[in-house]
Amino acid sequence: MAEKTYIAGRRLKPEGGFTEGYVIIEGGTIAEAGSGRPPMPPTVSLPPEAVILPGFIDLQINGGFGTDLALDPQGIRPLSQRLPERGVTAFLPTIISSPINTYPDVLKACDLTSSKRGAQPLGLHLEGPFLNPVRRGAHEESYLCLPTLENLSRLIQPAKVRLISLAPELPGGMEAIGRIREAGILPGIAHSDASYEEAKQAFEAGIEYGVHLFSAMLPLLHRQPGLVGALLEKSSPRFGIIADGIHLHPMILRMIYACRGAEGITLVSDAAPPAGMTPGTYTLGSKEVMMDGKQVNLPDGTLAGSAIFMDDAVRNMVRLGVCDLASAAQMASLTPAKVLGIDNYKGKIAPGFDADLVILNRDLGVEMTIISGKIAYQKS
């Protein structure tokens, strides 16, 4: 019989809000999540005022702690071992645009097996190379190409790829959405100059996720709402936001939340390789980037991913007055699980769900991370 672990404290309820209660873990899954006093003394001690949340799921992370996944796809494993420090229990390693002929070798080199007590890679997010050069952001323009059948065949590997983000207004873009879906991969929309009408057409074609709202998109205008306006409508696909206080002004974060709420939004880190490192010069794919401790930029000032992780995003949403902790936690766990279609076993503290948990202290810092019932990180 598997050993039981008892944890007691304020926990997030599946329906939202907090309750004083306990969690019983057995065999890597949650056996019971109750309110009130636990049936026996806790086997894991938590600090006063700690809160128990579902583990964070990051749908867009380009690297971190010095690892650049575009240059080193084998860096997934060491990255996964560090992410529990930031409350992340599962993630989509994200590969930015690369030369189209290199993708077969890159995908082959990606090791998605879970490392011991590391965050679980759930499949790759390929952000590009089917992006609009007009909205390329920090992506290398010479690597961008059209989503032809031949080019798509280099990327479509359902055993490894979970999400492919593209600009659907490109020639062949709408047809590519259907081919991606047919392969069992999620199609996302990113780095796009799509009009409102083109965006709605892409949604009808099968787009299931919007990547970093507002960033690398046609601006929201009162006569041209564009992709931003289309995604803000309640019937549209869920989308990610980078809550670092730099990509999006706090007022815009509050507006986005008022439009879609926690059900429609996922927090993403969009962490660049310098995240978690000291200020300095680093690489992002083929480009040199500078990190000053708060943001990551190309030499010309263009933002190139972020310097935050998921725990930073959760704290920022609360401290910037966007929403309460329960809603921020949902955007970091249950809503990403819904995007991936795994919300029947991840993203909630409920019986039968994976025992992936993050415990935050009174300052909303990560105190402990549990993955599959085992302590993957504990603050010293």
Residues with a catalytic annotation lie at 270
The residue length of the chain stands at 380
Q: How far apart are CA 377 and CA 368, in angstroms?
A: 5
Q: Indicate the DSSP class of residue 313.
A: H
Helix, strand or coil, per DSSP, at residue 215? coil
Task: Extract the tokens encoding 7.
Answer: 């944890």
Q: How far apart are CA 30 and CA 350, in angstroms?
A: 6
Q: How far apart are CA 362 and CA 128, in angstroms?
A: 39
Burial class of residue 72, CB neighbours in 10 A (0-12, 13-18, 19+) = middle
Name the strand (E) or helix (H) holding 89: strand 88-96
Widest Cα–Cα separation across the chain? 64
Q: How far apart are CA 174 and CA 184, in angstroms?
A: 16
Neighbours of 115 (CB within 10 A): 16
Q: How far apart are CA 96 and CA 60, in angstroms?
A: 10
Phi then psi dihedrals of residue 242, to 5 deg: -100, 100
Assess contact for 154 and 118: CB atoms under 8 A. Answer: no
Assess contact for 124 and 107: CB atoms under 8 A. Answer: yes
Neighbours of 350 (CB within 10 A): 15
Q: How far apart are CA 164 and CA 156, in angstroms?
A: 9
